[in-house]
Chain A
């Protein structure tokens, strides 16, 4: 999918750089959840193939204990989310949803803070619900780590200043004058 095209939708164009709402972030997190699940399944398949090559038939997917499966899944999720946020500010889910994670200064999150934020999300996903009531669309993790998730459809090199012109404008989002 190309993200280098100019944003044609007027509403979306105005909202670039603004903090994203609850639904968009849930969509991104749902996609990320599927990606993490696919990574975990691929790891199990890979382990099964390796065991098959070493010990011979029959081919079986390893069945881990529940606690180990949970720990492995959460670990994969933390690493995946933190790596995506620290590298480009977006995971695959945020790429699909057109979001980007930045710190309070508009820069990419450092790896340590990204790991901390990812661990907090994995440990307490319900922190996302705070977006619904937050005046700045911030989750609990955002408040703790001082991060923000914005609408950002554009491709941007890592060391470039993140938000677009509209994002820095103090103008309220479209529809704010509506009753």
Chain B
């Protein structure tokens, strides 16, 4: 069995020792691998072209495989691989059963042919390990899918870079009518969606107010302004009182025919 596994993993460089069943099996595996790779690549491309719209997606999928959900599509490569392996196994079994059911005379006659075919068939059957095939197929599928995804991603990036190099973005922007765009924006709706309460709740109003009050000495401003206004008013009142005092004194002195000025010097 060890010999058979190595033979399955590494294909011999020459065709020595290969039976017709081996050739058929390997050809089947190669074909199924190619189909799986194609399906994986197709799946990736379809997923990437999803935003283009349902019409384009249905057209691309219909060219190779029937349109279906991505989950089903993703299973197709593995299903194809499994189906191919099962078909190969059943064909080998059918060939062996055919030889066993022949009548004795015919079996005797056919024994050399059956033996010639059965020996490599049995050898091939012993080599067939479905679990190993399944694991190998799934691993190949994963690698193929990753390779396809990387390839598509790099391809898209390269295409985008080339396109951007060819596009004069400034010219495009100048062609854009920003006024129309702005007109289509419903600022009221945007403002209605803003949770101002949450915004205000996140603002440290107390700290902010304290900072502002620290910067602005409001009390001093009020004191200065109100104090200045009051002081100027009082000063004006006092000065007017002094002038009227002098005027009245002079009038009285004149009425009393006084010649000397009053002696108003304080104590």
Contact = CB atoms under 8 A, between A and B. Distances in A.
Contacts of A133: 252, 256
Contacts of B47: none
Contact of A173 (B230, B235, B264): B264
A21 B238 CA distance: 11
A97 B244 CA distance: 13
By CB atoms of chain B within 10 A, which of A20, A21, A22, A163 has the most?
Answer: A21
B264 A23 contact: no
Contact of B266 (A2, A5, A98, A150): A150
By CB atoms of chain B within 10 A, which of A19, A102, A168 has the most?
Answer: A19
Nearest to A12: B239
B242 A105 contact: no
Contact of A132 (B242, B252, B261, B264): B252
Nearest to B228: A2
A131 to B, nearest CB: 9
A77 B262 CA distance: 31
Interface residues of B, number: 27
A176 B230 CA distance: 31
Interface string A144-179: 000010110100000000110001111011011000
B262 A105 contact: no
Interface string B230-262: 110011011101111110110010001010111
A84 interface: no
A98 B263 CA distance: 20
B265 interface: yes
Interface string A97-110: 11000111110000
By CB atoms of chain B within 10 A, which of A27, A137, A163, A173 has the most?
Answer: A173
A24 interface: yes
Nearest to A133: B252
Given A11-B243, A18-B266, A97 B238 contact: yes
Contact of A1 (B234, B242, B264): B234
A66 interface: no
Interface string B163-186: 000000000000000000000000
A19 B241 contact: no
A85 to B, nearest CB: 14
A149 to B, nearest CB: 9
B67 interface: no
Given A1-B227, A175-B246, A18 B264 contact: yes
A77 to B, nearest CB: 22
A19 B261 contact: no
Nearest to A146: B267
A17 B267 CA distance: 8
Contacts of B267: 102-106, 148, 150, 162-163
A173 B267 CA distance: 15
Contacts of B245: 20-24, 137
A150 B249 CA distance: 15
Contacts of A168: 265-266
A97 B239 contact: no
Contacts of B263: 135-136
B242 to A, nearest CB: 6
Nearest to A167: B266
Contacts of B235: 8-9, 12, 153
Contacts of A17: 265-266
A122 interface: no
A-B pairs, 9 with minimum CB distance = A21-B245, A24-B241, A150-B266, A98-B238, A23-B244, A19-B264, A106-B267, A18-B264, A176-B261
Given A168-B266, A169-B265, 7 more contacts: A1-B227, A5-B231, A9-B235, A12-B235, A105-B267, A134-B262, A135-B262
